[in-house]
Amino acid sequence: MLPEDRFFQTNDNRKIWQRYCGFLDLTMSEFMEIQNRLLMEQIACVSDSVLGARIMRNNKPRDINDFRRLVPITTYEDYAPYLSEQREGVLADKPLFWCHSSGRRGTFKWIPYTERAIETITKRALSLFLLASAHSKGEINVRPGCRVLLILPPRPYMSGSALHYVSKRLSLNVIPPQEETAETDIQKRLEQGFEMALDTGVDVILAIASVLVKMGEKMTEQAHSKSLSQNMLRPRVLARFSNAYLRSKASGRPMLPKDLWRAKAVIPGGIDAHIYKDKITHFWGQTPYDNYACTEVSFIAMQAWNKKWMTPVPDCAFLEFIPEEERRKSTDNPGYQPKTVLLNEVKPGKTYEVVITHFYGMPLLRYRLHDLVTFQSLSDEEAGIKLPQLTFKARAADMIPLSGLAQIDEKTLWQAIENSGLANSGWTAYKEYDNSHTYLRLCIELKDDKPHIEVADMIDSQLKTIDLDYRDIDKWLNHQPVRVTLLPNGTFERYVEEKFNEGAGLAQLKPPHMNASDAVVSRLLQLGKDTLVKS
């Protein structure tokens, strides 16, 4: 029997909740005590390794203050000569596996994960499942063996790698089976997962937020189809369709995925989850559950059962936060070492850049994630949580600064597009200059015809509603800072097809939404021209 399965079998619900979700009951002093203990264990573990000694400059900090004073803030460039070549001899602990990031800037970031780290990640994965499916404190709605519909990047991406090793400690019924579909393109995986889930049912849904919406649209379309494949002509599938049809009729609407499956939890990935919240709820029947995780360190924070803000987890990484004014100093002066604060020093309403230090013998020390979070409150009174509550704001590299007056991040621009009601097949945005003026250039493929001037006005209007800094920007600049390029129908589809044929992974199939490279923008524009010529 797998270790976490055994714990579920031999303990009652109270002990199960305490093991996986008890971090929500920590006081600030208890949280910091865990952080301090694990950090000192980490320092003792890595200080004599080749890479650890290099990063710590042969220092052996005696406490947290010593550590923050002696060890510099780092970026991936400090580790790349060692990690990009997967040089295990320089590490403090032998990795269980290596995984990489999406490579959205053109290169992968390789990260080694140790056995001890995966033990903690397994527990936090169960925290995720339990909290996502709970409606009140202590409620246990999922157990080992639960059916997980999974549409996330496979190994060696972090999502697929972590799930592979978590499944060796916790039994999961993954749909479609990860090993069988690792080389299958996303569309076929969707279709295969859809057919399997019709037969087996689903407890937890894990997928990228935008994919969840497209899955909902596609599954709704398929559910309306009168033709079923031979694989779907089975008693349980037909019964599921019959029950779904009756539910939709009783509700006076077309059949939706939530009629076919009564999922206990929907966990979307990607920073756009909150933008698609209403659509995901509409299709899947559950409020999407938010968490903050990344390739470099797995889980950083997750929502409680009330699905409000996110609470930091104490045992995945040591957390520091760069205040906004310090981040700006380091942006203006790359040699500047920004000062940090700890979790017990953050201020409500303030935005910070996240800095992490690995635990469990992993290599990253005082590492800048270039992620920005905002602390909404120092507690969640509704849930009785005494720890600071955060929301993810943006990736620093994904912000488009406009003449120092406003900084537009991906979430804000995405929300403006959604609020404008502009149905689209894809978009990307970047900063451009014209006669010393700064503009935000939006390249977008609309599903309906609209003049580009009208689209620019709509986006500008929504940005003024959403972003306080942007609200009066035209008064300062003397011009509207949004420009729009309309791409012909099929442009993004052809781009995705081209990248797939080149062998790109799931995360590289689409252009980045913010600050795409000149080469990517040029290719989109060329594909747009080709589409016009062929149409």
Res. 154: pLDDT tops 60: yes
C-alpha span between 481 and 401 (Å, rounded):
11
Long-range contacts of 177-186 (CB under 8 A, 24+ apart): 178/150, 178/154, 181/154, 182/154, 182/155, 185/500, 186/151, 186/211, 186/506, 186/509
Q: What is the dihedral of CA 77, 78, 82, 85, to 10 degrees?
A: 0
Q: Which helix (H) or strand (E) holds 385?
A: none
Sign of CA dihedral 235, 236, 237, 238: positive
First to last CA, the chain: 59
Asked if 117 contacts 130 with a C-beta cutoff of 8 angstroms, the reply is no
Q: Are 261 and 215 in contact (CB under 8 A)?
A: no
DSSP per position, 391-403:
EEEEEGGG-EEET
459 phi/psi in degrees, rounded to 5: -65, -45
Report how far residue 241's alpha carbon sits from residue 265's, in angstroms, rounded to the nearest whole number: 21
Task: Assess contact for 37 and 30: CB atoms under 8 A.
Answer: no
Distance of CA 416 to the CA centre of its chain: 20
Are 420 and 459 in contact by the 8 Å Cβ rule? The answer is yes
Q: What is the pLDDT of residue 535?
A: 37
Predicted confidence band of residue 436 (pLDDT cuts 50, 70, 90) = low
CA distances from 139 to 12, 248, 302 (A): 12, 29, 17
Instruction: Summarize pLDDT for 74-86 with one digit per residue, the tens.
Output: 999 999 999 999 9
Average pLDDT estimate for 427-450: 88
Q: What is the pLDDT of residues 127-152, one digit of tens each?
A: 999 999 999 999 999 999 999 998 88
CA 383 to mean position of chain CA atoms:
24
Question: What is the three-state SS of 348-373?
Answer: CCCEEEEEEEECCCCCCCCEEEEEEE
In this predicted structure, the answer to whether residue 88 has a pLDDT above a threshold of 50 is yes
Residue 128 CA to residue 159 CA, distance in Å, equals 14
- Which tokens is 436 given? 């010393």
Q: What are the extents of the domains in the chain?
A: 399-534
Q: Report the pLDDT value the prediction gives residue 102, as an integer from 0 to 100.
A: 62
What pLDDT score was predicted for residue 106? 52
The yes-or-no verdict on residue 272 having pLDDT over 80 is no
Topology given in CATH for the domain delimited by 399-534? GMP Synthetase; Chain A, domain 3 (3.30.300)
Instruction: Convert 496-508 to b/e letters by CB count within 10 Å (16 or more is b).
Output: beebbeeeebbbb
Pairing of strands 173-175, 265-269: unpaired
The model's pLDDT over 202-245, given as tens digits with 9 standing for 90+, comes to: 999 998 787 788 778 776 776 555 455 555 667 888 888 889 88
| Burial class (CB within 10 angstroms; exposed 0-12, middle 13-18, buried 19+) of 406 | buried
Pairing status of strand 173-175 against strand 147-151: parallel
Positive/negative CA dihedral, 262, 266, 272, 275: positive
Average pLDDT over residues 433-455: 88
Q: How confident is the model at residue 519 (pLDDT cuts 50, 70, 90)?
A: confident
Give me 215's structure tokens. 């899955």
Using a cut of 0.85, tell me whether the model's pTM lies above it.
Answer: no
Strands 317-323 and 351-358: antiparallel
pLDDT digits (tens, 9 = 90+) for 172-193: 999 988 776 556 666 677 778 8
